[in-house]
Amino acid sequence: MKKILNDPSNFVDESLQGVVLAHSDLLRCDDDLRVIVRSDAPVRGKVAIATGGGYGHLPVFLGYVGQGLADGVCVGNVFSSPSADAMLAVTKAIHGGAGVLYLYGNYFGDKMNFDLAAELARDEGIEVETVRVTDDVASAPIDQMSKRRGVGGVFFVYKIAGACAESGAPLKEVKKAAEQAALNVRTMGIGFSPCTIPASGKTTFEIAEDELEIGIGIHGEPGIARAKIGTANELVSLLLTHLTRDLDLVSGDDVSVLVNGTGSTPLEELYVAYKEVHDWFSQKRINIFKPFVGEYATSLEMAGFSISVLKLDDTMKRYLETPVHTPFIKQW
Amino acid sequence: MKKILNDPSNFVDESLQGVVLAHSDLLRCDDDLRVIVRSDAPVRGKVAIATGGGYGHLPVFLGYVGQGLADGVCVGNVFSSPSADAMLAVTKAIHGGAGVLYLYGNYFGDKMNFDLAAELARDEGIEVETVRVTDDVASAPIDQMSKRRGVGGVFFVYKIAGACAESGAPLKEVKKAAEQAALNVRTMGIGFSPCTIPASGKTTFEIAEDELEIGIGIHGEPGIARAKIGTANELVSLLLTHLTRDLDLVSGDDVSVLVNGTGSTPLEELYVAYKEVHDWFSQKRINIFKPFVGEYATSLEMAGFSISVLKLDDTMKRYLETPVHTPFIKQW
């Protein structure tokens, strides 16, 4: 296992210490390393957004804590859910009097713990609402959307909900904005090679030298098919065919696009993919507004990429343009 | 070769098309895809900074084009120098009347072509100065610093020179700021596993499952030793011992630090390294000012990391704080 590691069982804590030490201007961690909030939390009168999940997906989830996105995060071990206690601690640390939105990817462990934390928070008089992101089209059919996993498209939901919250909107409206984004975002990914989990030394999946996993999840969950390596054009067309159909996109629609690297895929290759995305949508007369290319949701060093598409209305377009300032994501 | 590729021989051009399509708000490419400048170039009255080199190192070099860093870039094929013609074209496109600084890593092919371009530019009445970055301590002894390669520390030299140029300083002063940064920055890297060059399908080096290359270059050039995998603490101590000695750092000095991933090393691991960097410098009573952690100079999907240290004075501290706005690097 070639990794920058000391004791593998301390991997998450040591990494979090590094994050907090490097970014003490923007992030704060009071007692528990697994509870990290933006340095100016709680922001009085603003709806706070809490998120969380397993570690190993940077910038998901910790990297989304900051102005314009989320207010706080609870961090689990690699690929495993944080505790309800950590979620409650985040909730209390970020609550600025206007309620808290729990916004996270749709996984059983996270749901269970966030739901429990919500109950406990309500007992303490904090208003809590929840939106789960279910953007992974490969994980269930569209008529079972609530069973779909949350993957890279969560970025867009943070962006829209975060911008809405920064605008001073009340909890109900921030929740609605998040739901609207979650309803209109779709993602599908392709895995080239797995990652190794530090604590176990095990890889997340096995795959032949000339094969890809189509529709892979961010923990290496199997997708819809194994296929031989194709050209960039073929891979992008395959993903966009699924995404466009699922979103019911038609000529004249406006979308934003995220071409996301899952860990070890070079940025140079992601831009080859983006060129294909651009050509594909141009041909369909679908307009790309404000594309994003880079690592927005990773699985340690998994090689591969995903494409997320967000179908836009004017409100979402405005929210996409507002500033973001976290140690990992910056926009203005 | 599991890559997002169409025709491997078009890899660079297709990737550049993707970059220009995705970031047309910040970058401009008029005729030649290998000549890319910030969208508002030439900036009248400002010293312009030109850079360039082989492709495959994003954000080096193209990713440094934008406000606060460089004004334009000429892009070669993967790991090979761009042409003098492209360099001249960049020079003319960014020249705002205050002269042009050529700022790039110290490699033979780049030097030859930039020197030729400088001659041609001077023939056209453009004042040109040159600073080459020689930060890689593993590539030659300190008494032969002019033979050292340029690697990840080039980021700091762009940052300092770019900030100086944005302040309206004349060419002589921008050159001096770049020289001062170049003189005070050191880098050393460790390679875990190689990358594959798309056009040839060949890997840059071979290495055993339990070995690391200490002092590796950004094209896979051999370093000073092969070693068995150590702990994060051991790896960071090894690099910082070399860097600190080479820079003659003493207790009370101020430095900035860049922990750079070379392609497929997870951000999570880079932060484990940063924690070790922080502890090491704390113990030596050397103050870290404004650290950077992430991918700043890569070699496609090479696994590994490098540490760059910049010894600071008050002017450099001020320049480190000024805004940067490129599609790849943002700071404010």
The reported pLDDT for the residue numbered A99 is: 98
Instruction: Examine the pLDDT at A18 and tell me if it is beyond 90.
Output: yes
Helices (H) and strands (E) in chain A — how many of each? 8, 17
Write the CA distances from A202 to A1, A19, A71, A205, integer angstroms.
9, 25, 33, 9
Concerning whether A325 is annotated as a catalytic residue, the answer is no
**Stretch B270-277: mean pLDDT:** 98
The reported pLDDT for the residue numbered B313 is: 98
Nearest residue in chain A measured CA to CA from B19: A271
Q: Which residues contact B11 (CB under 8 A, 6 or more apart)?
A: A268, A272, B5, B78, B198, B199
Instruction: Examine the pLDDT at A118 and tell me if it is beyond 90.
Output: yes
The reported pLDDT for the residue numbered A320 is: 98
The reported pLDDT for the residue numbered B260 is: 98
Q: Chain B: nearest CA to A192, how far in angstroms? A: 6
**Maximum Cα–Cα distance for chain B, whole Å?**
56
Q: Which residues contact A178 (CB under 8 A, 6 or more apart)?
A: A101, A103, A131, A157, A160, A161, A164
The reported pLDDT for the residue numbered A248 is: 97
Residues of chain B contacting A19 with CB distance shorter than 8 Å:
271, 274
Phi–psi pair at A193, nearest 5 degrees: -155, 155
On the 0-12 / 13-18 / 19+ scale of CB atoms within 10 A, A219 is: buried
Torsion of CA B295, B300, B305, B310, to 10 degrees: -50
What is d(CA A105, CA A154) in angstroms, rounded to the nearest whole number?
7
The reported pLDDT for the residue numbered B154 is: 98
**Residue A38's pLDDT band (cuts 50, 70, 90):** very high
Q: Quick one: tokens of A139?
A: 């994980």
Nearest residue in chain A measured CA to CA from B17: A275
Determine the angle formed by the axes of helices A232-247 and A267-283, rounding to 10 degrees: 50
**Stretch B79-89: mean pLDDT:** 97
Write the CA distances from B231 to A197, A307, B235, B260, integer angstroms.
16, 36, 6, 17
B107-123 pLDDT per residue, tens: 999 999 999 999 999 99
pTM of this structure: 0.98
Q: Which of A23, A95, A219, A242 is catalytic?
A: A219
CB contact under 8 A, A268 and B55: yes
**Residue B332's pLDDT band (cuts 50, 70, 90):** confident
What is d(CA A73, CA A94) in angstroms, rounded to the nearest whole number?
10
Q: Chain A: nearest CA to B262, how far in angstroms? A: 10
Substitution target from B1, B3, B4 for chain A, most A beta carbons within 10 A: B4
Q: Chain A: nearest CA to B232, how far in angstroms? A: 5
A58-110 pLDDT per residue, tens: 999 999 999 999 999 999 999 999 999 999 999 999 999 999 999 999 999 99
The reported pLDDT for the residue numbered A117 is: 98
Instruction: Examine the pLDDT at A332 and tell me if it is beyond 90.
Output: no
Least CB-CB distance to A301: which of B11, B17, B265?
Answer: B265
**Stretch A111-129: mean pLDDT:** 98
Least CB-CB distance to A300: which of B56, B268, B301?
Answer: B268
Q: By the 8 A CB rule, do B68 and B322 touch?
A: yes
B303-318 pLDDT per residue, tens: 999 999 999 999 999 9
- Concatenating the DSSP letter of every residue in B18-36 gives HHHHHTTTTEE--S-TTEE
In single-letter form, the type of residue at position A261 comes to: G
Concerning whether B23 is annotated as a catalytic residue, the answer is no
Chains A and B: how many Cβ contacts under 8 Å? 165
The reported pLDDT for the residue numbered A41 is: 98
Whether residue B61 is preceded by a cis peptide bond, meaning omega within 30 degrees of 0, is: yes
The ipTM value here is 0.98
Q: Which residues pair with A305 in a beta bridge?
A: A190, A261
**Stretch A191-218: mean pLDDT:** 96
Q: By the 8 A CB rule, do A328 and A73 touch?
A: no
CB contact under 8 A, B270 and A4: yes
Least CB-CB distance to A233: which of B6, B268, B328?
Answer: B6
Q: Quick one: tokens of B267?
A: 């951000």
Rounded to the nearest integer, the mean pLDDT of chain B is 97
At A315 the three-state DSSP class reads: helix
Q: By the 8 A CB rule, do B65 and B73 touch?
A: yes
Residues of chain B contacting A330 with CB distance shorter than 8 Å:
330-332
Q: By the 8 A CB rule, do A307 and A277 touch?
A: yes
**Stretch B57-72: mean pLDDT:** 98
Q: Which residues contact B245 (CB under 8 A, 6 or more apart)?
A: none
CB contact under 8 A, B4 and A330: no
Q: Which residues contact A176 (CB under 8 A, 6 or more apart)?
A: none
Q: Which of A23, A57, A95, A242 is catalytic?
A: A57
What is d(CA B83, CA A215) in angstroms, rounded to the nearest whole number?
41
Least CB-CB distance to A264: which of B55, B235, B264?
Answer: B264
**Stretch A233-259: mean pLDDT:** 98
Q: Chain B: nearest CA to A95, how far in angstroms? A: 27
The reported pLDDT for the residue numbered A1 is: 87
**Stretch B148-155: mean pLDDT:** 98
**Residue A120's pLDDT band (cuts 50, 70, 90):** very high
Nearest residue in chain B measured CA to CA from A77: B268
**Stretch B139-157: mean pLDDT:** 97
**Stretch B2-18: mean pLDDT:** 97
What is d(CA B42, CA B72) in angstroms, rounded to the nearest whole number?
9
**Stretch B47-53: mean pLDDT:** 98
**Residue B1's pLDDT band (cuts 50, 70, 90):** confident
A271-281 pLDDT per residue, tens: 999 999 999 99
Nearest residue in chain B measured CA to CA from A191: B2
Q: By the 8 A CB rule, do B74 and B104 touch?
A: no
B12-35 pLDDT per residue, tens: 999 999 999 999 999 999 889 999
On the 0-12 / 13-18 / 19+ scale of CB atoms within 10 A, B252 is: exposed
